[in-house]
Amino acid sequence: MIGIETKLSRRSLLCGGLAVGALALFTPGVFAEQLARTPRMTEGPFYPDKLPLDQDNDLIIIGDSLTPAVGEITHLTGRILDINGDPIKNAEIEIWQCDAHQVYLHTSDSIPKKDQQDKNFQGFGRFTTASTGEYRFRTIKPVAYPGRPAAHIHFKIKKGGRELLTSQIFVSGFAGNKRDGIYMDVRDPVDRELVTADFVPIKDSKVGELSARFDVVIGRTPADADGDH
């Protein structure tokens, strides 16, 4: 990479003066720092084989039901950004996770465990970002299950029908994290941080709700490059 000084002197020479050269240096984006991309992780075997009728961003209530899902209610929010920190609009984020009784919305899990399943948990939801890149879900704090000692929420980002990223969100400080093969497969602790969120109690919530903030950073796509942000 060319250092600032090298570039400055070369531009000064080319432009015939420091003032013009310095101005040229501050062209937006030229030296913008890039954000670290959210690491890709395995999709796992439980992306729903049959999507639920209700696919909204509230996983606690199915349809008009009055009975909420079992679990610690969590407001999961964040932004979908490109590596320059610009929000990506019209990005679709899907999440899926097992219910509080460790059952996924997938026939290979929900059929054998049908007596165990929380029928009030939606198990899957999606949200499409607007110009701010913000997304929002109401779901439960994820739980561990046999084979996966680290609680996690699976997610997938799509845009314009293309899949851009598949990964997982982990719970900061969760006891099983260090014993989870998939989590520890992300070798660099900094990368592990990038797939980990704090689940914190919401002050004054009478029912013990939590909030978790998780930003997703994906590489630029051809659709982004032509200005469709």
* Paired residues of 166 in beta bridges: 156
- Nearest 10 degrees: Cα torsion 78, 80, 81, 87: -90
Select the residue whose beta carbon is closest to Fe ion and give its number: 44
Shortest gap between Cβ of 213 and Fe ion (angstroms)?
A: 21
Question: Contact, 59 vs 139, CB < 8 A?
Answer: yes
Question: If binding is defined by CB under 5 A, does position 44 make contact with Fe ion?
Answer: yes
Q: Please, where are the H alpha helices in the chain?
A: 4-15, 18-25, 107-110, 181-184, 189-193, 222-225
Kindly write out the interface string for residues 59-88 of this chain, putting x where it contacts Fe ion by CB under 5 A and - elsewhere.
------------------------------
Which residue lies nearer to Fe ion by CB, 84 or 166?
A: 166
Question: Contact, 172 vs 113, CB < 8 A?
Answer: no
Question: If binding is defined by CB under 5 A, does position 48 make contact with Fe ion?
Answer: no
Shortest gap between Cβ of 192 and Fe ion (angstroms)?
A: 16
Shortest gap between Cβ of 98 and Fe ion (angstroms)?
A: 7
Which residue lies nearer to Fe ion by CB, 73 or 103?
A: 103
Q: Interface residues with Fe ion (CB under 5 A)?
A: 44
